[in-house]
Amino acid sequence: MGFLNRTITKIFKNPTLGHPNPTRELPKEPLKENLQDNIEHIKKTLGNSTDLVVRDFFIGSKHKIKAAIFYTDGLADSKAIQDFILESLVLEIPDLSLVPENDNYSLLKNHMLTVGDIKDATEFHSLLTSLLSGDVILLLDGYAKGFTIGMRGWKDRGVSESATETVIRGPKEAFTESLRTNTALIRRKIKDPNLWLETQQIGRITQTDVSIMYIKGIVDDGIVQEVHTRLDRIDIDGILESGYIEELIEDETYTPFPTIHHTERPDVIAAALMEGKVAILVDGTPIVMTVPTTFVSFMQTAEDYYQRADVGTLVRMLRYFCIFISLLAPSLYVAITTFHQEMLPTTLLISLAAQREGVPLPAFIEALLMELAFEILREASVRMPQTIAQSVSIVGTLVIGTAAVDAGIVSAAMLIVVAVTAISSFVLPAFDLALTVRMLRFPMMFLAASFGLFGIIIGVIAIVLHMCSLRSFGVPYMSPFAPFNLADQKDTFFRMPRWAMFTRPKLINQKNMVRVKSTPPEKPGDLTEE
Amino acid sequence: MKRRALLLCVVILIQLFVTGCWSRRELNDLAIAVGIGIDKIGDQYQVSAQVVLPSQIAGSKGGSPQSPVNLYKATGNTVYEALRKITTLSPRKIYISHLRILVLGEDLAKEGISSVLDFMSRDTDTRNDYFIVVAKDTKAEDTLKILTSLEKIPAVRLFSSLETSEKQWAPTSTVTLGTLITELVSKGKNPVLTGVVINGNVDVGQTQKNVETVDSPTELKYSGLAVFKEDKLIGWLNPEESKVYNYLTNKVKSTVFYIQCPEGKKVSLDVFEAHSKIKGSMHNDNPEISIEQHIESDIGEVQCRNLDLTNPKTITELEQIANHKVVHLFETTIKKVQQEFKSDIFGFGEVIHRSNPQAWKKLKDNWDQTFVNLPVSVKTDIKIRQLGKVTNSFLEEMK
């Protein structure tokens, strides 16, 4: 893939640009002592933006000190500013001597500001970043430093039910767009002091908060280090969604398979953390990623673990079966009906042949058309406004379902195959894996139409080889199948009973492996006996 | 490096396209032949293929009812040539992978069947799961013309009714190409094939009228086994004798036979298990065969009034009568095959071969003569197990 990389870079990197255009660097100069100067400077730097609120006032009754607060309208909690800054400083100022000789700055911080989150700001750069993140800035006249008061409070979507990963049994809550809410949702589930959280800003313009979360002692330190290295390597103007980061830190770009798992369910993240994975949270999106990721994690759902083990196992096997149907059903149909008719029972062959009587297209083209039509419908149903969704689905079912067969353009059997394929692809719990399968279905159909079953086998072998060659943060993608690990089979095709899942899945160099120490429940004997 | 990788991609892509899907055949390019009949006309072979019209079988479209199958026939110097010649009549290539039944005409069978079997065993399209039968007193072509109801495709009807009748009634035998060739090659066993006859008029049988009436005027029916010597048809066994053949080759799964009770009326026995042991031995350089036949049966029907089935003695008595009857049937049949056909269809030669390979070396070249006078002793052991829903028949109370 090296040459592909080089070609793409060559074509798309415009050499005349030289270095990518840097943003206007915010001034890294220190604050001034004169309050008016500071106010002017900040206003000028932000271009007199209309959502910047500047309020200057006096503190104290005898010795009045000039002060000013700054906040971005809409990002800061104006009610809290009213209650805890303005009221306490302007009205309820206690009887303390605010004299020029005293260190009024510390006095204010230690005795008057009834707010929890207070940091010092000494230069404009960090001050402006805080201001634009929703903090309140309090500057005093005569001091070349100010307070950054954490009073973020913007209109936020509340924690709502997960829309893309629904369960019948289990918690319904999902992450929101606010990073802080998301970390809180995880902390609610894991109250261990070893759950560590590190935050950094990525994106020259967006300054997006990106946090990584892991349980110290369970996670492999090497992986945490690797996540840091890859995140630090990112140099981009903006991060709007975790997908930006996913693409910039994944191991392999030229693969249809997702190598980083993501979810919007806090319980899934909590489970991943306890397996020794690292969660990457990005502000502004409800999607949280976990690394390293193996293929099996795309086949697991939270509910597998909440239901009883036998149900979980059967459902999971159904899922593995469905991934094959969804990948291969149209190809198998094409291959068998155009190359290997002798494989079918006679009566089935005759009924298939009867349906194909009068169909003008070869089976492959027929399959291609129907799959294409389905993909179009599916894409349309995702993009179109809810209000017209119903009419489109009616047109879709009528046109594709009945009319095409009645008109003799496609056979009814093909329609069944396409429908089964489509439904099977929705069984897969991970949407991005479903997309992969959706993409690979077409080359497989092409192979089937050229070489029959032989082509399908070649295609499947190629896909499996490719999957085995993938890695996610150093962990083989197909583990525990390849390399094979017998103990870890407990949570792959099967979902063993909880007490049998003694150890965490083996990633790289984990130390803390023991997970369950309880033994299988014992039957208590007959309790009714006296 | 880059150039080489690109070249590789191009080569792979070209391979995909230049194949042109070479062995591809769409379902609607096939004429699915389910039955093939081979007749000998003079020096030439006539091949008739019964081809399914799928839309008439499974289609839901309306319109005037057509016959569910078409018959295409052509003659040629070889079977293969004749089969390919059919394309001059049929719009599609005859596809014989789904062959259900191969009918050999009686004339061909009398002249020898081995010459046509090579094609069937060599052709890569065929599978070995179809049955081979002989058209009795008629041409193979005609048996493929008769329309049938219940199972719309006549060849499939022939296939399933042969399978069912072998299981339930026993005087027919399902022979596939593999077994037939093995028996042709073997010196110690000659083949048999089931015979199919047409009851009624062929001209009526091939019209839609045949399936429109409750009692079809023309019907296909299996009747007895054709006895071959080497590859030539030399005679027919009647149904009773055919049953003996199936007992001796351990093919009976279930059948019914009757015995006479002391007062002269009849009792039906439902055989549910039959097993025969054939042993060969040498006595002073002369081969001998002894047969032990075990049969387990239930009482299926009683017409006698004076029969106390609750008494174990009665059962023993019935078993004796049955033993006697079966031994007699076995002996007369074996005698008939020995004297009349002189063809070892039971595989006694094979038995001798297995028990005494040394002696067989001397015997095998002259086995046909030896077989004629081969002493065969038959012992039967018939057990009556259950009486059904009632014990004594209500007939007893009507006295």
Ordered DSSP codes for A312-357: HHHHHHHHHHHHHHHHHHHHHHHHHHHT-GGGS-HHHHHHHHHHHT
The full 3-state SS of A119-177, as one line of letters, equals EEECEHHHHHHHHHHCCEEEEECCCCCEEEECCECCCCCCCCECCCCCCCCCCCECCCC
Q: Does the distance separating the beta carbons of A352 and B52 come in below 8 Å?
A: no
Are β-strands B131-135 and B192-199 bridged in parallel, bridged antiparallel, or unpaired? parallel
Among left, alpha and beta (phi > 0; psi -120 to 50; other), residue A430 is beta
**What pLDDT score does A529 carry?**
57
Q: Which residues of chain B have pLDDT under 50?
A: none
Torsion of Cα atoms, A473 then A475 then A479 then A485, to 10°:
-150
The Cα of B70 is separated from the nearest Cα of chain A by a number of Å equal to 14
Contacts of B78 (CB under 8 A, 6+ apart): B45, B119
**CB–CB of B355/B268 below 8 Å?**
no
**CB–CB of A456/A364 below 8 Å?**
no
Instruction: Read off φ and ψ for residue A432, nearest 5 degrees.
Output: -70, -30
Q: Does the distance separating the beta carbons of A351 and B23 come in below 8 Å?
A: no
**CB–CB of B190/B230 below 8 Å?**
yes
Q: Does the distance separating the beta carbons of A449 and B25 come in below 8 Å?
A: no
Q: Which of B13, B18, B24, B30 to mutate to test the interface with A (most CBs of A within 10 A)?
A: B24
**What pLDDT score does A437 carry?**
94
User: What kind and span of H or E run contains B204?
Assistant: helix B202-205
Q: Does the distance separating the beta carbons of B25 and A338 come in below 8 Å?
A: yes
Q: Does the distance separating the beta carbons of B32 and A353 come in below 8 Å?
A: yes
Residues in chain A: 530
Chain A residues with CB under 8 Å of B55 CB are 354, 357-358
DSSP sequence for A59-99: E-SSS-EEEEEEEETTTB-HHHIIIIIIIIIIIS--S----
DSSP sequence for B300-343: EEE--SS--TTSHHHHHHHHHHHHHHHHHHHHHHHHHIIIII--
Q: Does the distance separating the beta carbons of B2 and A7 come in below 8 Å?
A: yes
Q: Does the distance separating the beta carbons of B95 and A3 come in below 8 Å?
A: no
Structure tokens at B273: 């298990």
- Which of A6, A338, A349 faces B32 most closely, judged by CB atoms? A349
3-class state of residue A300 by DSSP: coil
Interface membership of A362 toward B (CB under 8 Å): yes
**CB–CB of A356/A415 below 8 Å?**
no
Chain A residues with CB under 8 Å of B57 CB are 350-351, 354
Interface membership of A5 toward B (CB under 8 Å): no
**What pLDDT score does B177 carry?**
92
- Which of B16, B57, B58 faces A450 most closely, judged by CB atoms? B16
Whole-angstrom distance, CA of residue A214 vs CA of residue A290: 10
What CATH fold (topology level) applies to the domain B239-399?
Answer: GMP Synthetase; Chain A, domain 3 (3.30.300)
**CB–CB of B265/B142 below 8 Å?**
no
Structure tokens at A213: 């979360």
- Bridge partner residues of B133 (DSSP): B103, B194
Q: Which of A8, A341, A417 to mutate to test the interface with B (most CBs of B within 10 A)?
A: A341
Residue with token string 């805890």: A84
Bond from prior residue into B262 cis (ω within 30 degrees of 0): no
- Which of B19, B58, B97 faces A354 most closely, judged by CB atoms? B58
Whole-angstrom distance, CA of residue A278 vs CA of residue A291: 5
Q: Does the distance separating the beta carbons of B34 and A3 come in below 8 Å?
A: no
Q: Which of A340, A346, A410 to mutate to test the interface with B (most CBs of B within 10 A)?
A: A346
3-class state of residue A519 by DSSP: coil
The Cα of A354 is separated from the nearest Cα of chain B by a number of Å equal to 4
The Cα of A368 is separated from the nearest Cα of chain B by a number of Å equal to 15
Interface membership of A243 toward B (CB under 8 Å): no
User: Which spans in A360-430 are helix H?
Assistant: 363-383, 386-396, 404-406, 412-427
Q: Tell me which chain A residue has its CA closest to the CA of residue B54.
A: A354
3-class state of residue B66 by DSSP: coil
**CB–CB of B187/B367 below 8 Å?**
yes
DSSP sequence for A390-409: HHHHHHHIIIIIIIHHHTTS
Of B234, B252, B264, B230, which is closest to residue B330 (Cα–Cα)?
Answer: B252
Chain center to CA of A222: 22
**What pLDDT score does B321 carry?**
92
Q: Does the distance separating the beta carbons of A341 and B30 come in below 8 Å?
A: yes
Cα A228–Cα A231–Cα A233 angle in degrees, nearest 5: 110
Say what the pTM is: 0.84
User: What kind and span of H or E run contains A279?
Assistant: strand A278-282
Chain B residues with CB under 8 Å of A356 CB are 26-28
Chain A residues with CB under 8 Å of B125 CB are 342
3-class state of residue B262 by DSSP: coil
Q: Which amino acid is at A103?
A: D
The Cα of B94 is separated from the nearest Cα of chain A by a number of Å equal to 13
Q: Which residues of chain A have pLDDT under 70?
A: 1-3, 13-27, 61-63, 92-102, 508-509, 526-530
The Cα of B150 is separated from the nearest Cα of chain A by a number of Å equal to 14
Residues of chain B with CATH 3.30.300.210: 239-399
**What pLDDT score does A459 carry?**
94
Q: Does the distance separating the beta carbons of B27 and A363 come in below 8 Å?
A: yes
**What pLDDT score does A22 carry?**
47
The Cα of B4 is separated from the nearest Cα of chain A by a number of Å equal to 10
Bond from prior residue into A480 cis (ω within 30 degrees of 0): yes
**What pLDDT score does A142 carry?**
83
Chain B residues with CB under 8 Å of A347 CB are 156
Q: Does the distance separating the beta carbons of B25 and A354 come in below 8 Å?
A: no
3-class state of residue B95 by DSSP: strand
3-class state of residue B159 by DSSP: helix
Q: Tell me which chain B residue has its CA closest to the CA of residue A348.
A: B58
Q: Tell me which chain A residue has its CA closest to the CA of residue B99.
A: A346
